[in-house]
Amino acid sequence: MIFKPKNKDKRIAGNFPDFTFDVCKLGYVSQFRYLGHIINDDLNDDDDIRRDIKNLFVRTNMLISRFNKCSTNVKLTLFKSFCMFNI
């Protein structure tokens, strides 16, 4: 996958030749997932952060629904172990 040039003032041509890898033609994309992270053509990570926040809400809601009768200390321990492993 290839990103289109960002700065249009410094471009030499309006359209570029097709990039090929072996016999496969590579296309232009606006975002690409690489090693579990979303890479955008404007080099910001807003989509990746939104994905992580959504996953945190999903994991938290699963814990709330499955362990709603447990004590607060048990819920905190479960939250720290299941929802905060990336921190």
Chunked in runs of 10, what are the mean pLDDT values of the chain (87 residues)? 62 70 81 83 83 88 90 89 69
pLDDT at 73: 92
pLDDT at 36: 82
Q: Which domain holds residue 69?
A: 45-87
- DSSP structure string for 46-65: HHHHHHHHHHHHHHHHHHHH
pLDDT at 5: 62
Same domain (yes/no): 40, 2: yes
pLDDT at 82: 80
SS3 state at 10: coil
Please say whether the beta carbons of 20 and 26 come within 8 A. Answer: yes
Q: Total domain count for the chain?
A: 2
Query: Burial of 51 by CB count in 10 Å (0-12 exposed, 13-18 middle, 19+ buried)?
Result: middle
Query: Residue 3 has what DSSP assignment?
Result: P
Same domain (yes/no): 68, 56: yes
pLDDT at 12: 63
